Amino acid sequence: MPALIDPLRDARAAVRAGRFQDAAVALAELPPDVRGSAEWYLLSAMVSWRLGDFATSRREALEARALYRTRGDADGEMRAVNVAAAGAFGLGALNDAEEEFHRALQLARELRDDLMVARCCNNLGNVALYLAQHDAALGFYRIARAGFERLGFDHGVAETWINTAITWRDIRRHPDALQAADDALEYAEAARAPRLIGEALANRGAALAALGETAVGRFQVVRGLTLVRAEQDRFAEPDVLRILGTIALAEGDRDAALRLGREALALATELHHPWTIAEVQRDLARTYRAMGRGPEAQTAFAAAAAAFLALGSGPRAQAMDAERAGT
């Protein structure tokens, strides 16, 4: 059988199509000389991130960056730095993530890569959100969205609206969160991106539930959960389960809230994702408190505070300590 002219073609196509399990198989089957290339490491880092292995993703992205730098490939370095930053973000190393996203943004501007500029701004918005810097987060999302819109990249526009919805919900601007989720859903459908449709539906349901329409909201979130599971979106699944748990608690079904919270915590712990662990522990603490299980509530609030503090989000950690003190 003749050698492939482009041995990474199938893996690259699978990554672009969002078929990350297929991409992982294709990458693993390549010969050792190909597995030592810069692009192999970069593609593998992207796949590892999507499959929830943030530590491996970061390690592979840093290897790709070193190889691209060795041959003076600024474009490759830019892409590798962005993925390495995403790995740091997934692991909760927000300082490293912020520094590296800024580096990728600098390279993107030097190379006049407008798509990467928009992606880096979106990523910097996520860092700002985790640090409870809401105005900065919304500003980065607006810049990213404008860039994606100029390029006609509906997928990117949908992502920025999803992140905007999360930010509005975090500061309890629920009507704004609902509008942002509606916009996210419109663009996700235009992009024909089931994963993003699922995330948009989950955020729409969360906003509806927060506005008092819990039954409709729950239905939307369940639809979203079905989609993120079908798309093997391991990053989103525990958060959608967490949202379902908060809705169950609002409806008075404390047992369901506890079950969903524990399932979300198990998945987030398996992913080693500090942000989701912190949010789930916070919501579990509120569930324990509603059930009259004070000691367990205090333990969960303390765990949430510790996780937020480890992320560098002092205001969120202080809020958890205050809730713990009132339990």
Segment 76-99 shows an average pLDDT of: 94
Cα→Cα distances 117→19, 61, 128, 167, Å: 25, 19, 16, 21
DSSP string, 255-304: HHHHHHHHHHHHHHHHHT-HHHHHHHHHHHHHHHHHTT-HHHHHHHHHHH
User: Could you give the percent of the chain with pLDDT greater than 90?
Assistant: 82
> Does 133 map to a domain?
no
With respect to residue 96, please indicate whether it lies within any of the assigned structural domains.
yes
Residue 286 belongs to some domain of the structure? no
Nearest CA-CA partner of 201 in 230, 240, 232, 167? 240
Q: Predicted confidence band at 326 (pLDDT cuts at 50, 70, 90)?
A: confident
Q: Tell me if 217 is assigned to some domain.
A: no
pLDDT computed for residue 5 by the predictor: 77
Structural domain of 90: 1-112
Q: Residue 285 corresponds to which tokens in the numbers above?
A: 């603490």
Cα–Cα dist 252/268, whole Å: 24
| Residue 62 belongs to some domain of the structure | yes
Tell me: the pLDDT tens digits for 215-274? 999 999 999 999 999 988 888 999 999 999 999 999 999 999 999 999 999 999 998 888
CATH of the domain at 46: 1.25.40.10
* pLDDT of 2: 46
Among 6-15, 141-150, 285-294, the minimum mean pLDDT is found in 6-15
Q: How many domains does the chain fold into?
A: 1
Residue 29 covered by a domain? yes
Mean pLDDT rounded to a whole number for the chain: 94
Q: What does each C-alpha distance from 285 to 181, 289, 321, 326 come to in angstroms?
A: 27, 6, 12, 12
User: Measuring CA to CA, which residue among 194, 276, 188, 237 is closest to residue 17?
Assistant: 194
Model confidence pLDDT, tens digit, residues 27-51: 999 998 899 999 999 999 999 998 8
With cut-offs at 50, 70 and 90, classify the pLDDT of residue 69. very high
| pLDDT (mean) for 164-175 | 97
Domain-located, residue 291: no
In a domain, 138, yes or no: no
Residue 126: closest CA among 140, 115, 143: 140
Q: What is the CA radius of gyration of the chain?
A: 20
What integer pLDDT is reported at residue 198 of this predicted model?
A: 97
Looking at residue 18, its pLDDT comes to 76
